[in-house]
Amino acid sequence: MNLNPLLQALDLQEDAARALADDLRTQIDILQSRLREAELLLEYLAITRTTITGLADRIPAQTVDPAGTLELPEHPDYPRILAVFNDTTGPLRARDICQALDFELLPKHVERTRAKMKRLVTIGILTEAVPGTFNKKQ
Q: For the segment 46-65, what is each residue's pLDDT rounded down to a tens digit?
A: 999 888 877 766 665 544 44
Scanning 56-123, the segments in alpha helix (DSSP H) are 77-86, 94-100, 107-122
114, 117, 112: which is closest to 127 by C-alpha?
117
Task: Return the pLDDT at 64.
Answer: 47
Q: How far apart are CA 19 and CA 15, in angstroms?
A: 6
Label residue 70 by pLDDT band (50, 70, 90). low
DSSP 3-state assignment of 135? Answer: strand
Task: Return the pLDDT at 77.
Answer: 87
Task: Return the pLDDT at 38.
Answer: 96
Q: How far apart are CA 117 and CA 82, in angstroms?
A: 9
Higher per-residue confidence, 76 vs 33: 33
Task: Return the pLDDT at 25.
Answer: 97
Label residue 66 by pLDDT band (50, 70, 90). very low
